[in-house]
């Protein structure tokens, strides 16, 4: 490899397997000089989520469910074209994919357990409510005779 910065860690000891990453390079769209017509700096990184062995099975199922809208035949695709150098775009794409997978494989949050309101607080609330209602009732201009 041409000195890519180490394995991109998803979470814990799990990282993106370099062998399972499919790279494609093409010309970036947008403005540029003469050089832009000859350099394939846009990077498309594809990762076969459905068939990978690198992720624990639970994570894989979670990711497949969460990314269902982004997958094409179980393959997730990330594009990067903001840098002028292909190498920097590769870095960006790999980091993006790692972040995407980290988010998609995260365990669901713990369900919220509702807490009970202490009786004293509830009673105080009702007492204040009644007081307020009496105050407002006393403001009517009618003569209670």
Which CATH number goes with the domain that contains 38?
Answer: 3.30.160.20
Q: Is residue 42 part of a domain?
A: yes
Residue 92 domain boundaries: 9-105
130-139 residue pLDDT tens: 999 999 988 8
Confirm whether 57 is domain-assigned. Answer: yes
CB within 8 Å of 52: residues ≥ 6 apart: 17, 20, 60
Decide if 145 is inside a domain.
Answer: no
Instruction: Specify if 131 maps to a domain.
Output: no
Higher pLDDT, 131 or 95: 131
The mean pLDDT of 116-134, rounded to a whole number, is 94
pLDDT value of residue 3 = 46
Domain count, the chain: 1
In a domain, 56, yes or no: yes
Would you state the pLDDT for residue 122?
94
Report d(CA 143, CA 28) in Å as an integer. Answer: 83
Residue 63 falls inside a structural domain: yes
Given a cut of 60, whether residue 4 has pLDDT beyond it is no
- The pTM for the full model equals 0.60
Sign of the CA dihedral running 82, 86, 87, 91: positive
| Angle at CA of residue 90, ends 87 and 91, nearest 5° | 90
Q: Report the pLDDT value the prediction gives residue 113, as an integer from 0 to 100.
A: 92
pLDDT tens column, 14-49: 777 777 777 888 877 766 666 666 677 788 888 887
Q: What is the pLDDT of residues 74-91, one digit of tens each?
A: 788 888 888 878 888 888
Task: Report if residue 17 sits inside a domain.
Answer: yes
């Amino acid at each position: 490899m041409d000195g890519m910065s180490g394995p991109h860690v998803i979470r814990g000891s799990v990282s993106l397997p370099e062998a399972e990453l499919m790279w494609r390079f093409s010309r970036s769209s947008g403005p540029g000089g003469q050089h832009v017509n000859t350099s394939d700096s846009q990077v498309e990184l594809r990762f076969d989520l459905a068939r990978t062995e690198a992720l624990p099975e639970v994570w894989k199922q979670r990711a497949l469910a969460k990314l269902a809208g982004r997958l094409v035949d179980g393959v997730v695709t990330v594009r990067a074209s903001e840098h002028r150098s292909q190498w920097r775009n590769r870095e960006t794409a790999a980091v993006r994919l790692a972040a995407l997978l980290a988010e998609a494989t995260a365990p669901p949050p713990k369900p919220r357990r509702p807490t009970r309101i202490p009786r004293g607080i509830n009673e105080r609330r009702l007492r204040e409510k009644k007081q307020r209602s009496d105050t407002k009732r006393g403001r009517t201009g009618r003569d209670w005779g």
